[in-house]
Amino acid sequence: MEKNNTKFYLTCSVLFVLATLILVVLGSEPKQLARLYGYSPDGYTITMDASNAPTTSSEYTNVYQTVRTTEFEYFDVKASSGNHVELSKNGYINNLSQITSITSVTATFSTMGSLLVYVSYDGNNSFDYQLVSGVTKEFSNLPYNIYFLARDYAVTIESIIINYSCSPHETSLDKYRINWYGPDNVLLEADVDVEPGTFPSYDGPIPTKDPSEGVVYTFAGWSPELSTVVGNQNYRATFNEVRSSYTLINGGTEYMLTAVSDKTITAFTIPSSYLGKPVTAIGDSVFSGFANLELISLPNTLTSIGEYAFYDCSSLTSIVIPDGVTSINFFVFYNCSSLTSITIPNSVTFISDYAFANCFSLQFNEYDNAYYLGNDTNPYLVLVKAKNTDISHCVINSSTKIIKDHAFYSCSSLTSITIPNSVTSIGNVTFARCSRLTSITIPDSVTSIGSSSFSGCSGLTSFTIPNSVTSIGDGAFSGCSGLQFNEYDNAYYLGNEINPYLILIKAKNTEISNCVINSSTIMIHSEAFYYCSGLTSITIPNSVTSIGGSTFSYCSSLTSITIPNSVTSIGGWAFVGCTALTSIVIPDGVTSINYFVFYNCSSLASIVIPNSVTSIDRGAFRNCSSLTSITIPNGVTSIGEWAFFDCSSLTSITIPDSVTSIGGSAFYSCSSLTSITIPNGVTSIVDW
């Protein structure tokens, strides 16, 4: 027996060290709690350690997998009730209170053989007890470590119940630490010195989890379920997943709202941020046709509102546009017939055509032969229209920033108008057909003049354009037969004494073969070189910032052109019918490839689109039959209808993740196209 005991002690010592090393490697932390070890008939050990008990069966397996075999009989801590713990096969694990003495052990196992109970005191003293199935063995104040060894291979252990108590001299049990974790294992709160037997309580803010694409999260509770404190415990926040009612797309550093699914909503709040990035834009047509929408809250992070965004929102009564928005685009509030109040911030410098068309309930302020739209802070922000077409003069209010489209259209009696320095933009067709208007001074504050703004002003003989103007729309001066132009190198210019060649109006004639544009020119006007079929070369200086619509249309001999980096806009139809043009590089800074800009450029085989471009408009590359491949930069959000119509040599194209809409017939008759990649973010594809 002594020999066997010596062997047994050595085996216990080796296995005890092995188990301890495993626990240390796995990050266990020794505590003064009862350690319970089970021995199998084949000599392998499994540790039942109440001081570092795993909380799930999978964790249990991971901790002890190095000492398990398929034949191994092992025990789990099954339950703790009062002052006893039961060990059994296939049980589960609870943490235990501090055990300082074992009072009794009851074992249940097969009747064949017996179970040796070995108890040690700090690893120094040992006692052997032989248990028979179902018989309780009592111990007197024996501490800490207890081992079990089946002496016979035929013994099958079913359960072991250990009764324990605390040391008589102790007045209280240990206190514990409760950790509360949020998403990504972030510690939200740590409660220390928590009394055993109390119920845990979280006192911090409600845990939140950032939304993922298309999903928002709501707090659901804690895992594991809260229970009376019996030891150190980690609780982790859990969340319910809710599919969001709106769609946002990632623009790199910010997000754009592109769709809202429920058209029956009466109120909506656009979030200021998403996945840690600001929401800065509302896409085109997002709330179009939301007839029940009465209230909309826009975040202060917003900087742009797309076309048709609130089109036909007939129940919308008021809206506050936040500071930071600079333009109100085409048809944004069209047919918002219940809209009675709108706040437009000072940051807005442009309001597009028909932005407030059919807003019959909007109240306008009258001042000196004109109607204005404003707010309490700036009551005359926008000049909407003349009081009537018979007015002969108008002094525009000094706080006005924008003169709206068609404001003085067909005011044929208008002979004079004073524009204050507060005005920053003049809309489309604003003074068209004001045939008696002989002169006008545009202040230095104005940066843009809209399309056809002075069209048909046949009495206009003097026009001063300031250097501040960077954009003049198509046909702004068409039909201004009384204006005097300066001639320079095969072209006519409109300018002033300070900058005599500010705008190139048109070529001297359509038979010119070359032109060097004056180095002080800021704009090339629409149709400036229209049908110059003999033009083979042209030099555009770095001073030019915009190229108007149809500027080089049907210049069929033009083989190449260099557009300087100073250019930020190229008008629609600008290069239509340039059948000899083989390559072109669009400069950085251009944000839109306009409608039909390269239509029927049948020799165009190479084109470079910069990362600044966000949209490719309808028909932009239609009938570019020599184009074999094209790279659409990440950042483009929309591809218009007919954009690549009849590009018969195009073999492959990759559409970036930023694109959300593809127009009808965008790739119609691309007969060589064998591969196309459409991103998951596309929410609209028109199939005709």
Q: What is the pLDDT of residues 493-516, one digit of tens each?
A: 987 666 777 889 889 999 999 999
Residues 6+ apart with CB under 8 A from 20: none
**Closest C-alpha among 200, 190, 111, 118 to residue 156:** 111
**For range 565-591, the mean pLDDT:** 93
**Using CA atoms in the order 134, 135, 138, 144, what is the torsion angle rounded to 10 degrees?**
-40
Q: Which residues pair with 327 in a beta bridge?
A: 350
d(CA 380, CA 397): 7
Banded pLDDT at 113 (limits 50, 70, 90): low
CB count, 10 Å around CB of 436?
Answer: 15
Which uninterrupted H or E stretch holds 10? helix 2-25
Query: What was the pLDDT predicted at 532?
Result: 95
Which uninterrupted H or E stretch holds 7? helix 2-25
pLDDT digits (tens, 9 = 90+) for 208-244: 887 766 676 778 899 999 999 888 899 999 988 766 6
Query: What was the pLDDT predicted at 213?
Result: 61
Residue 394 has pLDDT above 60, yes or no: yes
> Coil, helix or strand for 646?
coil
Residue pair 443/467 in contact (Cβ under 8 Å)? The answer is: no
- 45: buried, middle or exposed (CB in 10 Å: 19+, 13-18, 0-12)? buried
**What is the number of alpha carbons within 13 Å of residue 590 lying toward its C-beta?**
26
Tokens representing 656? Answer: 């970036």
Q: Which residues pair with 488 in a beta bridge?
A: 491
Give the mean pLDDT of the chain: 76
From residue 357, alpha-carbon distances to 286, 407, 499 in Å are 18, 13, 38
Residue bearing tokens 């944000």 = 591
Q: Which residue has the higher pLDDT, 148 or 492?
A: 492
Residue 126 has pLDDT above 70, yes or no: no
d(CA 76, CA 23): 16
Query: What was the pLDDT predicted at 356?
Result: 85
Query: What was the pLDDT predicted at 390?
Result: 92
pLDDT digits (tens, 9 = 90+) for 193-202: 888 888 999 9
Banded pLDDT at 96 (limits 50, 70, 90): very low
Can you spell out the DSSP letters for 420-485? Answer: -TT--EE-TTSSTT-TT--EEE--TT--EE-TTTTTT-TT--EEE--TT--EE-TTTTTT-TT---
Share of the chain above pLDDT 70, in %: 71
Q: Which residue has the higher pLDDT, 105 or 622?
A: 622
Query: What was the pLDDT predicted at 269?
Result: 84
Tokens representing 204? Answer: 């911090």
- 255: buried, middle or exposed (CB in 10 Å: 19+, 13-18, 0-12)? buried
Residues 6+ apart with CB under 8 A from 27: none
d(CA 313, CA 438): 42
Query: What was the pLDDT predicted at 205?
Result: 86
Banded pLDDT at 292 (limits 50, 70, 90): very high
Query: What was the pLDDT predicted at 680?
Result: 75
pLDDT digits (tens, 9 = 90+) for 638-661: 899 999 999 999 998 888 888 888
